[in-house]
Amino acid sequence: MWAGNAWRAALFGVPRGCRAQSALAQLRGILEGELEGIRGAGTWKSERVITSRQGPHIHVDGVSGGILNFCANNYLGLSSHPKVIQAGLQALEEFGAGLSSVRFICGTQSIHKNLEAKIARFHQREDAILYPSCFDANAGLFEALLTPEDAVLSDELNHASIIDGIRLCKAHKYRYCHLDMADLEAKLQEAQKHRLRLVATDGAFSMDGDIAPLQEICCLASRYGALVFVDECHATGFLGPTGRGTDELLGVMDQVTIINSTLGKALGGASGGYTTGPEPLVSLLRQRARPYLFSNSLPPAVVGCASKALDLLMESNTIVQSMAAKTQRFRSKMEAAGFTVSGASHPICPVMLGDARLASRMADDMLKRGIFVIGFSYPVVPKGKARIRVQISAVHSEEDIDRCVEAFVEVGRLHGALP
């Protein structure tokens, strides 16, 4: 034994355990340097701890009293709707906590198939497939659908999940300037040599609150023989007369080929995503989409909640119609106060500040005044375009909105963002 250890020490210089500790120490040094760089740039992201259910009025650990929440994706206020909660409890009782399986083994229950059918009807498509998240839906689509013979044309400001999904596929990749239809046309002309051409865009862009010009995109796609894919995560449930999304809002439901969206925002807010479109595409995804094949099924309680949220939405569009007036109230009052609010007519209302530290400090001071908002900075948004993203919910009252604006004005003047 001694001879073996001596031989090893002579050969490698240090014992194996010491080398492992040295490697770990090196890793720690590298990581601490990276973390210190994030702190120094003012882009460190802290996680506030909520001690209540999600809603317009919440409680936050370490903060006394109730807090007004203006940064959730809870667009319709359904995350804590009594009927949605009850549906989740009923599904939990009837179908259990989970499936302990992927879908194709023993992870498909009747409620999963019923929800997929309901999603397809809602979007007026042929079929739908569920995923653990829309990030997974985007990760699964492009790789399964597109080959080296094909091309995908993507808006430069598409969500990270679309970008990552496209990276996984072997298709030729074209990136067009944000909302620039002349550039998209030029890229479509260049891509004519490929078998399939797929234009990929967010319907509503989550950081800026602007909406893709789907009428023009669909017109160009028709002219150049392309398909259209739209990510509707920040549109499903509340954009369009009945909440079907940007394709309904802009009158092109029959021209958009594929829709990916989420159950984790307006539709109950728990988790889950989906693809809806032509039946052969959905069938192919069930055979080839890796996030679907290798991820556990959505928990029954999540399925039950999302299904009830869709029921409520399809029964009445009253909640959808209340969104526009509340969004306009916030935007007009903020702009009158002197703030720049990006986007137009979307409940995502980015208050543009530019400086990352300013955005972070203002958000902290807003919390002290009972308003929960978050500063966004690089790498979530480009450098120099830091902002506080405010999100309006159907369950915010006019008084809630006015109080938020008043706090912004007070904090903005304190930090020199307003004169």
- For this structure, is 295 an active site residue? no
State how far the alpha carbon of 257 is from the alpha carbons of 171, 194, 251, 275, 330, in Å.
18, 18, 14, 11, 34
- Cα distance between residue 127 and residue 408, in whole Å: 45
Q: Fill in the amino acid letter for 232.
A: E
- For this structure, is 154 an active site residue? no
Q: Which of 159, 187, 194, 234 is catalytic?
A: 234
Sheet of 374-376: strand order equals 348-354, 386-391, 374-376
> Could you check whether the bond before residue 241 is cis, i.e. omega within 30 degrees of 0?
no
Q: Quote the strand ranges of 141-296, DSSP E.
A: 151-155, 172-176, 197-202, 227-231, 258-262, 273-277
List, in sequence order, the alpha helices (H) in 232-355. 246-249, 279-288, 290-293, 300-315, 318-337
Torsions phi, psi of 207, nearest 5? -85, -30
Q: Which of 265, 326, 333, 346 is catalytic?
A: 265
- For this structure, is 265 an active site residue? yes
Q: Which of 161, 206, 297, 393 is catalytic?
A: 206
- Cα distance between residue 163 and residue 169, in whole Å: 10
CB 198 within 8 A of CB 224: no
Torsions phi, psi of 88, nearest 5? -65, -45
Residues that are catalytic: 206, 234, 265
